[in-house]
């Protein structure tokens, strides 16, 4: 029985939404297992990857981007700093602010994790028909657009 059939007040897209949520979640969870540092949490990697892609940020900017509290982000950054993946420095324009920057070791972690994840996805896609790969490519564009909203 579908979600919409089991709940008369459910939205007509409830079943599709649930199936998409489950599929994306399971795929992402499996992909996250492909990492270069097993002890690094998903949250820590997200911060590291964000610094890699977007450059140095303040603690507040990182907390806002990851939608966590500043004290929580401070703990994450402390762990990354202790491991040698990020460094803190005074902001050139405002000495009261601290800027977090990724280190060469942090870049290496992002590069290797990205390589492993891409390799896993390529392996999975090799077993999928051309039609399904085209469908997945279209879905990827749609998901990226939806995630940006």
Domain annotation covers residue 20: yes
Q: Does residue 103 have a pLDDT over 70?
A: yes
Residue 3 placed within a domain: no
9 falls within a domain:
no
67-76 residue pLDDT tens: 999 999 999 9
pLDDT band at 7 (very low <50, low <70, confident <90, very high): low
User: Given a cut of 50, is residue 90 above it in pLDDT?
Assistant: yes
Quick check: is 18 in a domain?
yes
SS3 78: helix
Confirm whether 8 is domain-assigned.
no
pLDDT above 60: residue 22: yes
Q: How many domains does the chain have?
A: 1
Compute the average pLDDT of residues 82-104. Answer: 92
Contact 14, 3 (CB under 8 A): yes
124-136, pLDDT tens digit by residue? 999 999 999 999 9
**CATH number of the domain bearing residue 102:** 1.10.10.10
Q: Is residue 6 part of a domain?
A: no
Closest CA to 106 of 49, 41, 54, 59: 49
| Domain of residue 115, residue span | 14-147
Specify the 3-state DSSP secondary structure of 112: helix
In-domain check, residue 66:
yes
pLDDT value at 1 more than 70: no
Mean pLDDT of the chain: 91
């Amino acid at each position: 029985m579908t979600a919409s059939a089991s709940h008369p007040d459910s939205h007509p897209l409830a079943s599709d939404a649930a199936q998409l949520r489950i599929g994306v979640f399971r795929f992402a969870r499996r992909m996250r297992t492909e990492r270069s540092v097993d002890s690094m949490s998903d949250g820590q990697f997200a911060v590291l990857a964000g610094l890699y892609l977007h450059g140095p940020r303040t603690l507040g900017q990182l907390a806002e981007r990851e939608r966590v509290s500043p004290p929580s982000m401070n703990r994450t950054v402390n762990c990354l700093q202790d491991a040698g993946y990020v460094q803190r420095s005074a902001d050139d324009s405002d000495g009261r602010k601290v800027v977090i920057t990724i280190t060469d070791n942090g870049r290496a972690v992002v590069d290797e994790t990205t390589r492993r994840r891409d390799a896993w996805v390529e392996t999975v896609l090799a077993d999928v028909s051309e039609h399904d790969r085209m469908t997945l490519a279209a879905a990827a564009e749609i998901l990226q657009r939806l995630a940006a909203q």
